[in-house]
Structure 1
Amino acid sequence: MQVIETLAEGLKREIKVIIPAKDMEQRMNERLADVKDKVRINGFRPGKVPTSHVKKMYGKSIMAELVNEIIRDKPSAILSERGEKSATQPEIVMTEDEKEAEKILSAQADLEFTLSYEIIPAIELKSVDGIKVTREVVEVSEDEINEQIEKIAESARTFETKKGKAADGDRVTMDYLGKVDGEAFDGGKDEDAELVIGSNRFIPGFEEQLVGLKAGDEKVITVTFPTEYPAANLAGKEATFDITVKEVASPAKTEINDELATKLGVESVEKLKEIVRGQIESQYGNVTRQKVKRQILDQLDELYKFESPSKLVDAEFENIWRQINTDLAQSGKTFADEDTTEEAAREEYRALAERRVRLGLVLSEIGEKAGIEVTEEEMQRSLFAQLQQFPGQEKQILDFFRNTPGAAASLRAPIFEEKVIDKLLTEVSVTDKAVSKEELLADDAEEGDKPAKKAAPKKKTAAKAEDAAEGEEAAPKKKAAPKKKAAEGDAE
């Protein structure tokens, strides 16, 4: 077998592989000799079939098997012998001419194919002694714990009928009928609907117009559906709602005590506070973690400058670009609305993709040199977390991870990366800093990973893509409530 390097330009490599026809024929004959003793053909006793006859019947199919095995196994063996790692699956090119292929299968022509790939560059690890990070820490106060408990207690809150006018926080029971251009629309009608004023369950402007109404009142209110409303036939439209108030009830005062804890399924108020404190600390801890991680990545970015495999960058850019366009489509905005152009945004996110790939290679090298591994138990926990996110679709998700090449890597990669960050945190200089909740959660989307701030789309678009690319979140997120009625829930 001949292995000839035909291209070595930057990270790009091209290898021509030639296996002489006589070598292929020898391999085929060895395989035929094994088949000869097993094959059963009418007119011949087992093991007595002439080799020439077996070759005539099975020669080409056996040769095809050999070609497939070589194409499958040789590339990785060749790269290993060369001491190279391919950034992606090598591209294999061989003849598509039927006559040439026929000669190869008949052992009358050499088997030739070409490997094209990009190598992962050699990375010389540098000292991280100079990396310094600030870890922001929030002290959770008793008032914040009580405030969170009160929010949780809203699900168990009782209401008492009142004779006066509805105020913010009161529960209004009503019948309503929604109309657009004087015509009722699907999903715009309900009877005995209960709505707590200030809960932001209904579209903006709806709840505020209930303030001041009392049982027995009738009123027509006018609202405008948001332009991004999910129902296209209602998005951006002005609508009226005929309201008949049937009851107004005020919330009973919430007392944080053992009785409330029992209603919420906890044995005591102290245990409830302990649980809530843990949840808040976990939320803040996640934000702190991501900010520390970003500081480490920023400083690693300054330490390591090298060419990244273009195909990996292309793939990362496509992921980010797809998210950007999805966000713009969902918000009904354009690049012009975000004070940029498509060309400038492409350049911006191409740079972000290149950074992401480069840092990924650095973290991979650090983890490999440190002997960091992802255990099967960790993989199973990650898979279980995926299943919890999509109830009812467990089978499809399991099938996807079982049957999709590379899918398991999408579970492994973030676990591996976090373990590398954990290792780095034991080696870099970390200074704790007490901050307020507001300081911790302050939007720092304009800092850190931005490769070119002035070209970035404003508001949340850039931040979402950046966080998605780095696996980071800017703040704890609440789950959006399902939209049950056409009048409901765009405040979220």
Structure 2
Amino acid sequence: MFGLNKKKAENKLSLKLESKLLQDRFNKKILQQQRDSNLKGYRKGKAPKDVIEQYYGDQITAQIIYEEMANTFYKKISEEKISVVGQPALNPSSMDIKKDIKFDAIFEVYPEFSLKKFSTIKYKKPIATLKDSDLDKSILEMRKRFGNLEKIEESVADGLYAKVDFEGYLNDELFEGGAAKDYLIEIGSNNMIPGFEEGLIGLKENEEKELNLSFPDDYHADDLKGKEVKFKVKINEVLQTLLPELNKDFFTKIGIDAETEEEFKIDLKGKLEKDLEVSLKRKVKERIFDSLEKLNPIEIPSAMVIAESENLRKAAVQQMGMDVSKIKDEEFPLENFTENATKRVRLGVILNKIIEDNDLKSDAEVVKSLIDERSSGFKDPEQYRKWIYGNEEQLKNIESLALEEQVTELLISQSKSEDENLSFEEVMTMS
């Protein structure tokens, strides 16, 4: 071994290219180029060798040097049985093939590391139950979603809706994206920046008002973060929601097979409790994994981070309904995804290490449980189960998730937790 630092991702290898090899290849390439050349003033293949060298010498020299650096590098790492991540950076000391050329190959490998003891993992375990008030609020939200808006002759108040025209000014200039016509706002939803919805309370149809507000420091648009702005607002309409009755038609619309209000509430309560259970389990997993990743700040190959950043950017673009092939780098800078990508890659490497160290294999019962859980959302669960078991790629994805669940259980059994009491709403709205 040539002194590979197994604890670091980036390594350097110093190698040499022999002048004789380079010159032999150069001469063969020049002769080939001479036979194929069709230079102005000469018949095809008849241009003198020195003319060919004048036209193509530098290009051929560079091509040969980089090809031989790559050949030499990959031969060496193959002999040393080194697994390289990504492409190496090859830096020649000169481009003069009349002398031996030394070069450095900078490359990345999977670093070797030892995990911190699982007993050092500490996390807050969220605890929550579904209360009757949570059930009632969920039903109200569902009724609002299927309700109809009607215009009323009232002042804007919390819980009502307002259709407004507004214009936003930064330093007395209308800022981009700061104006809208007939924009529907639910008062109390907190969908607008702080102070906007509250500033409309008490206004009536056709009344106008200026709001002096500030954008939050963590606002998504950099040019507006923390900035003081002025909004000119006009109320066009005040509206309220006409809620649908709790009857079979309504139950059917939201996918619950019930005849009476009591049956509906029992069914919905069961679904919400299941949703809560899943959310609590997911949050525990996220918190344990976050703690695990922070306890093991291993160095990660940049090639893996770049690849994951590209994947995250692509997913973000697709989620916005945009064409990935048409986006510009400045619209979605890759560095915006680097931090998240680094954490995801590091965590993936750590989880693979845990699986390897503990010789974990996907448990058939865990796989079956995951498939059953997913199949419950389909009209024909049995058909879905057959499709999964008959699709090798999909089954492998489920097996990977099963392994992740097994790692989670292993970590839970050995780590330390502190209960954190939360409301149903807090758990369900956690990012």
TM-score range, shorter chain: 0.5 to 0.7
Asked if structure 2 preserves the Cα contact closer than 8 Å seen for 1:15 and 1:114, the reply is yes
Please say if 1:225 is aligned against 2:213: yes
In angstroms, what is the RMSD of aligned CA positions? 6.2
In structure 2, give the amino acid aligned to 1:169.
Answer: G
Matched, 1:286 2:282: yes
Residue number among 228, 233, 242 corresponding to 1:236 in the alignment = 228
Distance in 2, matches of 1:116 and 1:180, equals: 49
1:338-349 alignment runs, 5 A limit: none
Does the alignment pair 1:476 with 2:427? no
2:324 is matched with: 394
Contact 1:138/1:440, CA 8 A, preserved across alignment: no
What is the aligned partner in structure 2 of residue 458 from structure 1?
none
| Aligned-residue offset at 1:157 | 2.0
Contact 2:150–2:239 at 8 Å: present in 1 too? yes
Structure 1 residues 414 and 123: CA distance shift in structure 2, 3 A: closer
Aligned residue number for residue 154 of structure 1 = 144
Match of 1:68 in 2: 66
Decide whether the 8 Å contact of 1:177 with 1:184 is kept in 2. Answer: no
Cα gap change, 1:475 to 1:286, in 2 (>3 Å): farther
| SS of residue paired to 2:15 | strand
Deviations 1:415-468 (A, max 9, x none): 9456575453354453899864349969xxxxxxxxxxxxxxxxxxxxxxxxxx
Alignment CA distance shift 1:74-1:225 (3 Å): same
Q: Please say if 1:199 is aligned against 2:192.
A: no
Q: Are 1:137 and 1:433, in contact at CA under 8 Å, matched by a contact in 2? A: no
The alpha-carbon distance between structure 1 residues 293 and 145, as it changes in their structure 2 partners (threshold 3 A), is: farther
- Native 8 Å contact 1:204 1:223 kept in 2: no
Confirm or deny: 8 A CA contact 2:17 2:68 kept in the other structure: no
Query: Structure 2 CA distance, aligned partners of 1:175 and 1:17?
Result: 69
Contact 2:134–2:424 (CA under 8 A) maintained in structure 1: no
For 2:212 and 2:52, how far apart are their aligned partners in 1?
Answer: 77
Shift of residue 284, structure 1, vs aligned partner: 3.8
The residue identity in structure 2 corresponding to 1:291 is R
> How far apart are residue 132 of structure 1 and its match?
8.5
* C-alpha distance in structure 1 between counterparts of 2:230 and 2:37, whole Å: 81
For 1:189 and 1:91, locate their aligned partners in 2 and report how far apart those are by CA, in whole Å. 49
- In structure 2, list runs of 5 or more residues that go unmatched: 259-263, 352-399
Flag the 1:208–1:277 CA change in 2: closer, same or farther, 3 A. same
Where does the alignment leave 5 or more consecutive residues of structure 1 unmatched?
Answer: 320-373, 443-473, 478-492
**How far has the Cα of 1:226 moved from its partner?**
1.3
* 1:437 is the counterpart of 2:425: no
Report SS of the residue matched to 1:476. Answer: coil
Q: Is the 8 A contact 1:293 1:421 kept in 2?
A: no
| Residue of structure 1 aligned with 2:408, choices 418, 422, 425 | 425
Mapped contact 1:146–1:256 kept (Cα < 8 A): no
How many Å apart are 1:391 and its aligned residue? 0.8
Checking the alignment, whether the CA contact within 8 Å between 1:166 and 1:210 is kept in structure 2 is yes
Between the aligned residues of both structures, percent identity stands at 17
1:20 pairs with one of 18, 21, 30? 18
Distance 2:30 2:178 in 1: 75
Q: 1:180 and 1:28 mapped to 2: Cα distance?
A: 64
User: Do the aligned partners of residues 71 and 202 (structure 1) sit closer, same or farther apart at CA in structure 2, a change above 3 Å counting?
Assistant: same
With over 3 angstroms needed to count, the CA separation of the structure-2 counterparts of 1:153 and 1:282, relative to structure 1, is farther
Alpha carbons of 1:15 and 1:137: their partners in 2 closer, same or farther (altered >3 Å)? same
Q: How many residues align?
A: 349
State the SS of the aligned residue for 1:225. strand
Counterparts of 1:19 and 1:414 in 2: how far apart (Å)? Answer: 36
Aligned partners of 1:109 and 1:24: how far apart in 2? 9
- Whether the 8 Å contact between 1:129 and 1:427 is mirrored in structure 2 is no
Distance 1:131 1:29, change over 3 A: same
The answer to whether structure 1 residue 114 and structure 2 residue 68 are counterparts is no
Q: Confirm or deny: 8 A CA contact 1:135 1:292 kept in the other structure.
A: no
CA contact (8 A) 1:133 1:429 kept: no
- 1:243-258 correspondence runs (5 A): 248-253=238-243, 255-258=245-248
Deviations 1:205-234 (A, max 9, x none): 45445545666xx755453121458686x9
1:75-133 CA deviation, whole Å, 9 max, x = no partner?
Answer: 2332343455667855433244xxxx35x1xxx32233233567665435788699798
Q: 1:392: how far off?
A: 2.1
1-structure distance, mates of 2:5, 2:179: 69
Structure 1 residues 24 and 147 mapped into 2: Cα distance closer, same or farther (>3 Å)?
same
Q: Deviations over 1:170-207 (max 9, x none)?
A: 345677899999x9968988876654432345554454
For 2:361, the equivalent position in structure 1 comes to: none
Give CA-to-partner distance per residue, 1:236-290, whole Å, 9 cap, x none. 245665x56x7655433454544334555x4646699477666555544432221
Q: CA separation of 1:440/1:73 partners in 2, compared to 1, >3 Å: closer, same or farther?
A: farther
Q: Does the CA-based 8 Å contact 1:91-1:116 persist in structure 2?
A: yes
**Local SS of the residue matching 2:413:** strand
Residue type of the alignment partner of 1:170: L
Aligned counterparts of 2:215 and 2:207: Cα–Cα separation in 1: 25
C-alpha distance in 1 between matches for 2:281 and 2:292: 16
Amino acid at match of 1:396: K
User: Contact conserved, 1:130 with 1:428, CA < 8 A, in 2?
Assistant: no
Change (3 A) 1:423 1:89: farther
Paired residue secondary structure (1:430): helix
Distance, in Å, in 2 between the alignment partners of 1:227 and 1:41 is: 66
Matches of 2:194 and 2:110, distance apart in 1: 52
Paired residue for 1:340?
none
1:150 is displaced (CA, Å) by 2.9
Question: Structure 1 residues 254 and 292, CA, compared in 2 at 3 Å: closer, same or farther?
Answer: farther
Question: 1:195 & 1:149 partners in 2: Cα distance?
Answer: 21
